[in-house]
Structures are given as structure tokens and as C-alpha cells.
Homo-oligomer: A and B are copies of this chain.
């Protein structure tokens, strides 16, 4: 349904290094690159939030749903499945009458959280600069518009 149905595991086939991707800067220009795929997953809006929350403690489905403002049931399910598939989140089902499913970060997921934190911190530290830049840009555009019109 959500694409991704096939895994293919390309990467291992030819095109071993036609572009010379050992160059530390040339890592990502090709869209079929593994790194690109993972990056898209990892940088995903909801993934980021889920990982951030799970770092604190093990959480149940409904708890996550409640904590993440704006996420739908569907997206939470999908996101958790992806993270589980990528080995970032561990899913534990307790076979009791009222189903109880708990999610927690795997060690791998833990290392990712640390990295994500860096990005978040950067954003927090520079959000004012960005907001200012946006205002300036918008003002400039508006000025040009009224002048041109």
C-alpha cells in the first residue's frame, strides 16, 4: 500500500561505484542510493517525533497517539511499522485480553536519537534567525511586488 512493498536490496548489484561515491561529499546525488532512502525515512516528520518520545521510556500505542499532537492513527501505525522494520524500534505484544502493545527504542534507535537531537538543537538555536530571515524575505518580495504592479 504505502509503496515500499518490494525491498529489492539493490545496492549490491553492479553500479558498485561508477561515480566514485567514496568521495565523502558525493554521498547522495543519486536518488537510488541507500543513504538517500534511509535519510528520507529517518528525517521523516513523524519518525522524528516518535523516536524522540520513545527515548524517554517505553510507550504504548495509545500513549504515543496522545502525546503526538496531530498524528492520525493510520500515520502512527505506519510510522511505527517502518521504524520497526528498520530495526529502530522494538514492538512487544502482551497477549492479554485488552491487547497491550509496547514500543521502545532499540540500541540502534538510541544512537539515532542522539544524532537527531543535534539537528533539533540546531533548529532551536537558530529558529529566531530563520524567522527573521523569512520576515525580511517576505517584506522584500512584497515591496517588489507592489513596486512592479
Is A78 at the interface (CB under 8 A from chain B)? no
Interface band, chain A: 35 or more
A118-B115 in contact (CB<8A): yes
**A52 & B27 in contact (Cβ 8 Å cutoff):** yes
A48 within 8 A of B: yes
Task: Flag whether A111 is at the interface (Cβ < 8 A).
Answer: yes
Residue of B52, B56, B119, B133 touching A115 (CB-CB under 8 A):
B119
Copies of this chain? 2
With both beta carbons as reference points, the residue of chain B lying nearest to A30 in the complex is identified as: B69
Cross-interface CB contact of A87 among B43, B44, B108, B129, cutoff 8 Å:
B129
Please name 16 pairs of A and B residues whose Cβ atoms are closer than 8 Å in the assembled complex, sorted by A.
Answer: A1-B69, A7-B138, A9-B131, A27-B120, A28-B48, A28-B120, A38-B123, A38-B130, A39-B48, A39-B120, A42-B119, A42-B123, A84-B137, A86-B133, A87-B133, A87-B137
List residues of A whose CB falls within 8 A of some B CB: 1, 3, 7, 9, 11, 25, 27-31, 34-36, 38-40, 42-45, 48-49, 52-53, 55-56, 67-70, 84-88, 108, 111-112, 115-116, 118-120, 122-124, 126-127, 129-138
